[in-house]
């Protein structure tokens, strides 16, 4: 890892105490607002993202006249990220192009030149992403988070259908016996010619929280063993990834029927190409669940701070806001994030701490709800989760904890399902007499959801 990035990573550990407005998108703006000196953001050398209006001159190989002029300034390569027809769902016909320059080229200069072109909507460097989980010692034998507020009872909710959960992370160790049959085809942006196998451990740990096999006398218990995990590898073995790859992965997940997208990573610079991808996912009804960040202050991390994303913070072992968990008005929910026991590489168990782990718990709950009733829309699931949250310290909505922690009793009530007594197996069959089959949505919820369903394709939530 080069010295420049080490300085950058060290500076990220500074705790920010002031609430930062979403309008602050550059380091200079953040510094003026917070009064702190922040590092110049580290970007991936040689990559410039350009968003274009598509006209008759557009060509998938050359990018049209505007890009051709930029390429003539020294670009060594060009790549069209997405089909321009898909971008029409976001208003207008556009395309995203990545220009590759030698590492020595001044990207700020290229950015300004690109934005002077008439067909260019914006240009920006390719920023990295960093993981929001920290590994601890292996060997823990108790998944204590399952027993907070009777969360284990969610394992009695009938799971009648598979649901695809896209895990955009370090990949997944599909050879782990606790994930056997639970991992479907994914994609690898780090090494495109290889399977998205985890060489880091973070992605596998989140995978176990969400979908580890139940009642197989091995490993840990997943919140929804009917969740089919789609591993989308954008983060390498050192924990570094690219927001370009993250944006592509989000679009890939949506186009391949993922209902839930889990992002256990982020970065403190607002990036438009990532925002466009998130908006695309939300417009197609997907749930995007993101870790709030582990810096312990209110410096916004993206994608968690984008409107419509379910941002998740952490609680400590005593059920209080964890000191490392980022805060802000965008926080939707919190859950345990300290010493979370889960799967490690090569069949081991590991304990990790971070908002990544908390986001995986919330994503697992959301996927369980969809496995119970796949006819629920993304808007329905958001509302059910909000109705199922119990405020922390009797504060209905706070910048530290959002709406609070999702609890089983309220979740079953929101779904109009009686609480059960036995855990269900991987096949979804009842082990003993527990919860009945799915029932019709209660009338009170139907009435409550009318305005949301009317506006479902356009409404944006910021919990």
- Count CA atoms within 13 Å of residue 306 on its CB side: 26
Q: How many residues does the chain have?
A: 463
Using DSSP bridges, classify how beta strands 163-169 and 240-242 pair: parallel, antiparallel or unpaired: unpaired
169 is catalytic: yes
Identify whether the C-beta of residue 312 lies closer than 8 Å to the C-beta of residue 325.
no
As to burial, measured by CB atoms within 10 angstroms (0-12 exposed, 13-18 middle, 19+ buried), residue 53 is middle
Identify whether the C-beta of residue 229 lies closer than 8 Å to the C-beta of residue 167.
yes
Of 202, 205, 321, 403, the active-site residue reads 202
Of 119, 162, 169, 336, the active-site residue reads 169
Structure-token match 């168990």, residue found: 349
**Closest C-alpha to 174, from 228, 220, 134, 244:** 228
Using DSSP bridges, classify how beta strands 227-233 and 163-169 pair: parallel, antiparallel or unpaired: parallel
* Phi, psi (deg, nearest 5) at residue 221: -110, 125
Of 356, 358, 367, 398, the active-site residue reads 356
255 is catalytic: no
Tokens read off for 322:
């964890």
- The residues with which 122 forms a beta bridge, in sequence order, are 51
Rounded Cα–Cα distance for residues 279 and 213 (Å): 32
398 is catalytic: no
H/E stretch holding 349 reads: strand 349-353
Rounded Cα–Cα distance for residues 246 and 189 (Å): 9
Catalytic residues: 169, 202, 356
């Amino acid at each position: 890892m080069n010295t420049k990035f080490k300085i950058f990573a060290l500076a990220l550990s500074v705790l920010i105490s002031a609430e930062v407005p979403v309008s602050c998108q550059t380091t200079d703006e953040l510094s003026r607002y917070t009064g702190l000196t922040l590092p110049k953001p580290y970007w991936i050398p040689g990559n410039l993202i350009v968003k274009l209006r598509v006209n008759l001159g557009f060509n998938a190989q050359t990018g049209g006249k505007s890009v051709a002029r930029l390429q003539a300034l020294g670009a060594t390569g060009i790549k069209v990220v997405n089909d321009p027809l898909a971008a029409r769902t976001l208003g207008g016909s556009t395309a995203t192009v990545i220009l590759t320059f030698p590492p020595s080229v001044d990207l700020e200069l290229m950015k300004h030149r690109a934005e002077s072109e008439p067909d260019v909507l914006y240009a920006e460097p390719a920023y990295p992403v960093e993981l929001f989980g920290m590994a601890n010692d292996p060997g823990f034998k108790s998944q204590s988070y399952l027993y907070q507020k009777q969360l284990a009872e969610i394992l009695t909710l009938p799971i009648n259908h598979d649901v695809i959960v896209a895990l955009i992370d370090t990949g997944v160790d599909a050879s782990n016996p606790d994930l056997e049959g639970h991992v479907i085809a994914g994609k690898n942006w780090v090494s495109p010619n290889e399977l998205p196998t985890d060489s880091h451990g973070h992605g596998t740990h989140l995978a176990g929280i969400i979908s580890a096999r139940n009642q197989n006398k091995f490993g840990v218990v997943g919140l929804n063993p009917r969740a089919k995990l789609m591993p989308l590898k954008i983060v390498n073995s050192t924990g570094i990834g690219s927001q370009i790859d993250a944006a592509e992965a989000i679009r890939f997940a949506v186009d391949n029927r993922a209902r839930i997208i889990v992002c256990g990573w982020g970065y403190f610079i607002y990036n438009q190409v990532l925002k466009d991808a998130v908006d695309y996912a939300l417009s197609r009804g997907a749930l995007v669940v993101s870790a709030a960040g582990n810096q312990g202050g209110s410096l916004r991390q993206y994608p968690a701070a984008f409107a419509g994303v379910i941002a998740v913070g952490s609680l400590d072992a005593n059920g209080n806001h964890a000191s490392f968990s980022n805060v802000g008005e965008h926080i939707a929910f919190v859950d345990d994030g300290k010493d979370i026991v889960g799967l490690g590489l090569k069949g081991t168990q590991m304990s990790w701490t971070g908002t990544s782990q908390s986001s995986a718990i919330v994503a697992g709950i959301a996927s369980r709800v969809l496995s119970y009733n796949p006819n629920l829309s993304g808007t329905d699931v958001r509302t059910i989760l909000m109705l199922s949250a119990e405020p922390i310290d009797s504060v209905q909505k706070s910048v530290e904890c959002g709406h609070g922690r999702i609890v089983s009793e309220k979740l079953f009530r929101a779904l109009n399902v009686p609480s059960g007594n036995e855990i269900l197996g991987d096949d979804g069959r009842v082990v003993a007499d527990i919860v009945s089959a799915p029932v019709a949505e209660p009338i009170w919820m139907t009435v409550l959801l009318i305005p949301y369903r009317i506006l479902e394709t356009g409404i944006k939530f910021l919990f």
